[in-house]
Amino acid sequence: MVINYKGYEIKEQEGKVIVNNVRDFNPVHIFECGQCFRWIRQEDGSYTGVVKDKAAVVRYMNGKLEISNSAIEDLKNIWFDYFDLGRDYSEIKRRLSKDEIMKKAIEFGYGIRLLKQDLWETLISFIISANNRIPMIMKVVGAISEMYGSEIIMDGKSYYTFPDVDKLAGSALEQLEMCRGGFRCKYILKTAQMVKDGTVNLASLANMTTDEAREELKRFPGVGNKVADCTILYSGTKYDVFPTDVWVKRVMEELYFGRPATFSEIQNFAADYFGELAGFAQQYLFYYAREHKIGTGK
DNA sequence: TTGCAGGGGTCAA
DNA sequence: TTGACCCCTGCA
């Protein structure tokens, strides 16, 4: 059975949901541009991961997006929003191609999409990201899920959901530290407790201005500007942020400023120059900078 | 083999 | 404005 859904032709086949005519989509770009930590590349180029309470294998070839372990209902309830399929990335790329630098970055990461991830999971993941490397972040998030989440069996293998607020808030610090988060564990625990007791209401962030949402998130320990902006952007809450980490700083200094620049200079420039598309621009630039080791002298 | 620097930041002084 | 911070990896 083939049905039409929001402009896409979708069908269910052998336990998979298949979406046709998907443009501007490349799993490598999407899953390895630093926005998510739970998708693992398989030898055949597919990616396995967990979203909400669903494990799946994702493949993409020639406009055809295949998501295993899923039905059409799952596409409607989870995957369509998660992969931001309702957004025209060609249009975004066209609008952002305003100079040679952006053109190059977009050409390189042409298949990037901003995932709409769970706000709570994104918040904890980016607290873990502070002064840390991607493989380590993935290990810690995986360990937390395995220790506190629920098991899901797919193709005979075990996967784990990311734990809910109560689960983490009720943990002992010593147990959380077994997940190897180091000094960030106390931040995670305190943050979970603050969400649980209502000190900060994550659901209210969407109704705030971007600046208000950032300040609200910074009330959590372990959350500064960078972590707050990543949380806002990668949960699909707001798109007019420009998370500025060392890579983005390097690429901006080397390619736009031609000199050392402060964080606030970069923030102001991005707001003026990229405006409401700053978050998308950041992803193309970050991916380009990191893959090319821009500004590291290598 | 052992030792040391440093990493997609944040906090505290 | 500057160092410390858990843990791990890469590289002498």
Judged against a pLDDT cut of 80, whether residue A297 lies above it is answered with no
Architecture of domain A119-227: Orthogonal Bundle (1.10)
Closest-lying nucleotide for A262 based on CA to C1': C1
Output the CATH code of domain A2-86: 3.30.310.260
Helical H segments across A149-224, by residue range: 165-169, 173-176, 185-196, 210-217
Residue A26's nearest CA partner among A57, A59, A54 is A59
- Å: A243 CA to B11 C1': 19
Q: Which helix (H) or strand (E) holds A55?
A: strand A54-61
Written as one letter, the residue type at A124 is I
Residue A296 pLDDT class (50, 70, 90 cuts): confident
Q: Where are the domains of chain A?
A: 2-86, 119-227
Average pLDDT over residues A129-145: 96
Tokens of A96: 């952002």
- For residues A180 and A116, the answer to whether their CB atoms sit within 8 Å is no
Q: What is the largest CA-CA distance in chain A?
A: 58
Q: Is the CB of A132 under 7 A from strand C?
A: yes
Residue A215 CA to C6 C1' — how many Å?
27
Tokens 């949380």 locate to A231
> How confident is residue A146, by pLDDT bands cut at 50, 70 and 90?
very high
The pair of structure tokens assigned to A266 is 């970069």
Q: Buried (b) or exposed (e) across A249-273, using 16+ Cβ within 10 A?
A: bbbbbebbeeeebeeeebbebbeeb
**Arithmetic mean of pLDDT, A263-286:** 97
Q: Is the CB of A227 under 7 A from strand B?
A: yes
Gap between the Cα atoms of A243 and A227, Å rounded:
8
pLDDT for A1 equals: 82
Alpha-carbon gap, residue A138 to A229, rounded angstroms: 19
Mean per-residue pLDDT for A59-82?
A: 98
pLDDT given at position A293:
84
User: Do A34 and A290 touch, CB atoms closer than 8 A?
Assistant: yes
Q: What is the mean pLDDT of residues A116-130?
A: 98
